[in-house]
Chains A and B, each alone.
Chain A
Amino acid sequence: EDQVTQSPEALRLQEGESSSLNCSYTVSGLRGLFWYRQDPGKGPEFLFTLYSAGEEKEKERLKATLTKKESFLHITAPKPEDSATYLCAVPVGTYKYIFGTGTRLKVLA
């Protein structure tokens, strides 16, 4: 069964304290893995797409990496404005996406 699991469910960091979020997936024939940021009461905002193991992408303090079984979202020296829920998703079938349950990140000043 296709599945996406994210951990931890919630994470509290001090400002400047780097950490990583995990997204594990079980899908047949991965056709991309997507990371999104979601602020409370808002729709998800696209961050990255990764397609193959070993691929990395960076944006400001965020770096996403991909292996054959999981993806990591590394946050370097986070700031309070990085506080949000981070979602990963994989496409299955023709159009459908499966989303993980997300990691709620809180960065304390």
Chain B
Amino acid sequence: GAVVSQHPSRVICKSGTSVKIECRSLDFQATTMFWYRQFPKKSLMLMATSNEGSKATYEQGVEKDKFLINHASLTLSTLTVTSAHPEDSSFYICSARKDRGRDTEAFFGQGTRLTVV
């Protein structure tokens, strides 16, 4: 299957600082990538859809100014958590869709565990 690489896998930061998470599609081009947040023992919650060369589309209730998304190329999207607070601590996962004829499969990164202290 296709490979999506997410970095870092874990990060600890102080309150008030910003953290950048990278998501790369290693063996295919992804015009669209997705950012999810997952709470313990809960399912994935879509935060935003990242579109190459244009602004991201945020889900209702997600603060655009806090979660900055940049999709600078067909293989890279970044999520920056700005002015992080302890309540931003969570597991963040990116995903990229690969179109293969009728099949369109979403492949996920390894996830990033963010802890804000």
Contact = CB atoms under 8 A, between A and B. Distances in A.
A99 B41 contact: no
Contacts of A51: 102
Contact of A97 (B41, B46, B110, B113): B46
Interface residues of B, number: 26
A89 B43 CA distance: 10
Contacts of B32: 95
Contacts of B54: none
Contacts of B95: 43, 97
Contacts of A49: 103, 105
Contacts, number: 50
A46 B109 CA distance: 11
Name the residue in A43, A89, A91 with the highest tally of chain B Cβ atoms < 10 Å from its Cβ. Answer: A43
A97 B107 CA distance: 12
Interface residues of A, number: 22
A90 to B, nearest CB: 11
B71 interface: no
- The main secondary structure of chain A at its interface with chain B is strand
Contact of A32 (B42, B43, B104, B109): B104
B25 interface: no
A44 interface: yes
Contacts of A91: 104
Interface string A65-109: 000000000000000000000010101000111011110100000
A45 interface: yes
A97 B97 CA distance: 11
A95 B111 contact: no
B108 interface: yes
Interface in B60-116: 91, 93, 95, 97, 102-111, 113
